[in-house]
């Protein structure tokens, strides 16, 4: 019997924002944008509204009703803003709560921080500095089990705002003929910065998980940089027999990584209605 569509989403907003804080004399930012960029909290960059508002609106459009923001203990501005939105974190369409990741020890640890919010249910995981198509997060919530949205690397470059050299650093998704995840190939990057192949699909950290992922997140050893990362946890889960559906998509994703992205993202979102 098919399970009910997922209604919970976890948004990873704990990162240090090192690249956003880095000075870029070529980037065009207004005073408010520059002030937030200095903090590194990319989710709160004003691009009409705080960038994260657009993601939350898209999640509500897709049918999600409860969202947990994984933040750091220093992210008072994020907590204050989203607690005030609608009153005590309740909007007309969403209930927004928070989980604290004490240190920036990787995306796998960030997911574990939200375990209490998840309970025993399936849940979406996305980045706070990406805006995904509604159809991607909607399709994931309809899965009976775990899965990921795999995005065409060529479309991300051709139709989105993401440079080829950045896409070349993201994990390549390998799938079986019947669209199950076979593996995630980590890459150091491609200095050539050429257009990706048409048949290349990458992970942009857009996942549907079952609670089984928590054991995998705890089991993986830290990387050389001292962080436990989500792709490593997924690879561990694969070795333990967990299966992940792959949803191949030829749709762009907005990426707000550095100051150079701000003006382009603001232009993309001009006129987009936010409904929380």
When the pLDDT of each residue in the chain is averaged and rounded to a whole number, the result is 94
User: How far, in Å, CA of 175 to CA of 172, rounded?
Assistant: 10
What separation in angstroms does the CA of 27 have from each of 15, 20, 22, 33, 207?
Answer: 21, 11, 11, 11, 31
- pLDDT digit string (tens) for 100-124? 999 999 999 999 999 999 999 999 9
Asked whether the beta carbons of 66 and 9 are under 8 A apart, the reply is yes
Helix (H, G, I), strand (E, B) or coil at 174: strand
Reported pTM? 0.96
- The yes-or-no verdict on residue 53 having pLDDT over 80 is yes
Asked whether the beta carbons of 87 and 114 are under 8 A apart, the reply is no
Per-residue confidence at 189, pLDDT binned at 50, 70, 90? low
| Per-residue pLDDT, 86 | 73
Q: What is the mean pLDDT of residues 36-59?
A: 96
Report the chain's C-alpha Rg in angstroms. Answer: 18
Count of other CB atoms within 10 angstroms of residue 191: 8
Strands (E), 66-166: 66-71, 95-100, 123-127, 130-131, 146-152
- For 8-269, the fitting CATH number among 3.90.1300.10, 3.40.1260.20, 3.90.550.10, 3.40.50.970 is 3.90.550.10
Q: What is the mean pLDDT of residues 129-147?
A: 98
């Amino acid at each position: 019997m098919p399970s009910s569509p997922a209604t919970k989403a976890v948004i990873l907003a704990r990162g240090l924002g090192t690249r956003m804080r880095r000075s870029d004399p070529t980037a065009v930012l207004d005073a408010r944008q520059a002030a937030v960029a200095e903090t590194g909290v990319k989710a709160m960059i004003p691009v009409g509204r705080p960038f994260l508002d657009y993601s939350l609106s898209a999640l509500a459009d897709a049918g999600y009703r409860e969202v947990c923001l994984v933040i750091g203990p220093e992210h008072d501005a994020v907590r204050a803003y989203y607690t005030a939105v609608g009153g005590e974190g309740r909007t007309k369409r969403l209930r927004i709560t928070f989980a604290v990741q004490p240190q920036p020890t990787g995306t796998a640890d960030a997911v574990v921080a939200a375990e209490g919010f998840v309970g025993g249910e399936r849940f979406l995981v996305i980045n706070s500095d990406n805006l995904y198509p509604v159809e991607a997060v909607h399709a994931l919530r309809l899965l009976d089990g775990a899965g990921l949205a795999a995005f065409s690397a060529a479309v991300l470059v051709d139709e989105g705002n993401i440079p080829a050299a950045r896409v070349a650093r993201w994990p390549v998704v390998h799938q079986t003929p019947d669209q199950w995840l076979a593996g995630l190939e980590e890459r150091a990057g491609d200095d050539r910065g050429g257009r990706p192949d048409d048949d290349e699909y990458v992970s942009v950290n857009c996942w549907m998980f079952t609670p089984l992922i928590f054991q995998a997140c705890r089991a993986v050893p830290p990387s050389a940089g001292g962080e436990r990362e989500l792709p490593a946890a997924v690879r561990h889960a694969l070795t333990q027999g967990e299966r992940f559906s792959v949803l191949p998509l030829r749709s762009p994703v907005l990426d707000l990584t550095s100051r150079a992205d701000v003006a382009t993202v603001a232009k993309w979102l001009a006129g987009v209605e936010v409904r929380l």
